[in-house]
Amino acid sequence: MDPVYAVLQAGTSSLSFGFVDYLTTISAIGVITMALIQTAKDMLPIRRWYQRRRFRAWLADGVREAAVPDRSAVLFGQPAGRQQPDAAAAEARLVSLATDGDAHALYDLPIEQMCGQINAALQVVLEYPADDPNLVAIVGSRASAADLAMLIGVANGAMNSATARTPEVSAAKARVMHQFQRAIDAFQIAVSYRWKMSLQIASLVLCGLLTYAALLLRFHVGTSYVGGVGAVVIGAVLAGFLAPVARDLTAAVQGLRK
On whether both 161 and 230 belong to a single domain, the answer is no
Please compute the mean of the pLDDT values over residues 3-26 and round it to a whole number: 54
* Residue 82 clears pLDDT 50, i.e. is over it: no
Q: Indicate the pLDDT class of residue 217, thresholds 50, 70 and 90.
A: low
Among candidate residues 176, 194, 212, the one where a domain is terminated: 194
On whether both 187 and 201 belong to a single domain, the answer is no
On whether both 138 and 41 belong to a single domain, the answer is no
Q: Indicate the pLDDT class of residue 220, thresholds 50, 70 and 90.
A: low
* Residue 57 clears pLDDT 90, i.e. is over it: yes
On whether both 70 and 171 belong to a single domain, the answer is yes
On whether both 136 and 232 belong to a single domain, the answer is no
Among candidate residues 153, 177, 194, the one where a domain is terminated: 194
What pLDDT does residue 181 have?
A: 92
On whether both 83 and 186 belong to a single domain, the answer is yes
What pLDDT does residue 14 have?
A: 46
Please compute the mean of the pLDDT values over residues 173-181 and round it to a whole number: 89
* Residue 16 clears pLDDT 50, i.e. is over it: no
Work out the percent of the chain whose per-residue pLDDT is above 90: 24
Q: Residue 227 belongs to what domain range?
A: 2-45+195-257
* Residue 179 clears pLDDT 80, i.e. is over it: yes
Mean pLDDT lowest among 113-127, 165-179, 216-230: 216-230
On whether both 141 and 179 belong to a single domain, the answer is yes
Among candidate residues 166, 194, 222, the one where a domain is terminated: 194
Q: Indicate the pLDDT class of residue 33, thresholds 50, 70 and 90.
A: confident
* Residue 104 clears pLDDT 90, i.e. is over it: yes
Mean pLDDT lowest among 68-82, 109-123, 193-207, 208-222: 68-82
Helices marked H in 100-225: 103-107, 111-127, 133-139, 145-155, 161-164, 167-219
Distances (CA, A) of 157 to 12, 74, 122, 247: 76, 15, 21, 55
Of 247, 235, 225, which Cα lies nearest the Cα of 1? 235
Q: Indicate the pLDDT class of residue 58, thresholds 50, 70 and 90.
A: very high
Q: Indicate the pLDDT class of residue 147, thresholds 50, 70 and 90.
A: confident
On whether both 35 and 134 belong to a single domain, the answer is no
What pLDDT does residue 210 have?
A: 76
On whether both 170 and 159 belong to a single domain, the answer is yes
Residues 143 and 130: their CA atoms lie apart, in Å, by: 16
* Contact indicator for 83, 154 with CB cutoff of 8 Å: no
Is the pTM higher than 0.75?
no
Q: Indicate the pLDDT class of residue 119, thresholds 50, 70 and 90.
A: very high
Total domains in the chain come to 2
